[in-house]
Chain A
Amino acid sequence: MKIMNCPLNGPRNISEFAYGGEVKPTPDAQAPTQEWADYVYYHANQPGILREWWLHVPTSYWFIAERDVTTDRIIATFKPEEVLR
């Protein structure tokens, strides 16, 4: 079982976490439908290092993790406000 370091709770078994998808900017409310469709449906699924949303389930705490999706190595984790300024 992998370990993930939660910015609030410290290192925990990965079973305490839920995946929340890639971090990506939300389109403007009035953006064209195509832009929204890309946001909602299109996932690049590229190998390499991604920023992802993760949830620590027991505390309902959302944070951001940097993960190499090729090797499944978790590189670093951040409070959301450290990334989304």
Chain B
Amino acid sequence: MQPRRQSFIAVPTDPCSGSLPALAMADFSLRPRLGFKGAGTADWLAAQGLSLPPEPNQSVKDDQGRLIARLSWGEFLLLGDFAALQSAWSFETAPLCFPLPRLHSHAWIVISGDAAPKMMAKICGVDLRAHKFAQGRIAQTSVARLNAIVIADRIRGRLGFHLLSDISTSQYLWDCLCDAMLEFDGAPVVLEALAKESHGQTDAQG
């Protein structure tokens, strides 16, 4: 029997499954993701055929809609199914490149709605308005007093963010977001409601 993998976030059982609310948020924590870090990482990932953002705090999408985020000169966060990379990696084949268990270290929350920057301004001190924080930009900063990675992305055709933050505090963060989005008629939705266009790949076991 496959063991059960469990998000740290308790999502209401029927979170607003009808039409998309003006501001919507879904728990993507069970969706695949991966990280690599170390001085040899950029070289090794490029050798695996990935095209990488040239500078830290930028992200790009590949042709499969997977998101490749560069967090520093030698650290990358890969949102989507990169299982092939995982099996290609070893200490011997990837010198100075080390995998990070991002699937389990970080919760992944996706926010969609044009009021998303305004909502984030209640919990985050970085200017995330679209004309100052373009699609693909990354801010590694403090959100509701937690360290978090914020990535700008259009989600379901609207402004949106990927929010990655320590998994142990993810319920707290979820609750903060629920509270912050109330004044914008925001609500949690099921994962599928936001997954359609943002990440096409199938749900995978970590």
A: residues with CB less than 8 A from B are: 8-10, 12-13, 15-16, 56-59, 61
Pull 28 A–B residue pairs with CB atoms less than 8 Å apart, ordered by A. A8-B56, A8-B57, A8-B72, A9-B56, A9-B57, A9-B139, A9-B140, A9-B141, A10-B57, A12-B125, A12-B141, A13-B125, A15-B142, A16-B125, A16-B141, A16-B142, A56-B140, A57-B142, A57-B147, A58-B140, A58-B141, A58-B142, A58-B147, A58-B148, A59-B71, A59-B72, A59-B140, A61-B72
Cα-based distance from A68 to B140 in the complex (angstroms): 27
Which residues of B50-88 have CB atoms within 8 Å of chain A's CB atoms? Answer: 56-57, 71-72
Q: B residues near A, CB below 8 A?
A: 56-57, 71-72, 125-126, 139-142, 147-148
Beyond the given pairs A9-B56, A12-B126, 17 more chain A to chain B contacts, judged by CB atoms under 8 angstroms and listed by A's residue number, are A8-B57, A9-B57, A9-B139, A10-B57, A12-B125, A13-B125, A15-B125, A16-B125, A16-B141, A16-B142, A56-B140, A57-B142, A57-B147, A58-B141, A58-B142, A59-B72, A59-B147
With the chains together, A13 CA to B140 CA distance in Å?
A: 12
CA gap between A12 and B142 in the complex, in Å: 10
- Collect the chain B residues with CB atoms within 8 Å of residue A9's CB: 56-57, 139-141
Q: Please report whether the interface of chain A is mostly helix, strand, loop or mixed according to DSSP.
A: mixed
Greatest chain B CB density within 10 A among A10, A57, A58, A61 is at: A58
Please measure, in the bound complex, the distance between the C-alpha atom of A59 and the C-alpha atom of B125, giving whole angstroms: 16
Smallest Cβ-Cβ distance to A61: which chain B residue: B72
In the assembled complex, the CB of A34 is this many whole angstroms from the nearest CB of chain B, namely: 37
B75 nearest CB neighbor, chain A only = A59
- Residues of A within 8 Å of B126, CB to CB, are 12
Residue of B nearest to A79 (CB): B73
A25 to B61, CA, bound (A): 44
Give the complex CA separation of A61 and B73 in angstroms: 11
**Assembly CA distance A70 to B147 (angstroms):** 31
Within the assembled complex, what's the spacing in Å between the Cα atoms of A70 and B57? 33
Max chain A Cβ within 10 angstroms of own Cβ: one of B125, B140, B148: B140
Q: Bound state CA distance, A8 and B71, in angstroms?
A: 9
Q: Give, as a whole number of angstroms, the nearest-CB distance from B63 to chain A.
A: 29
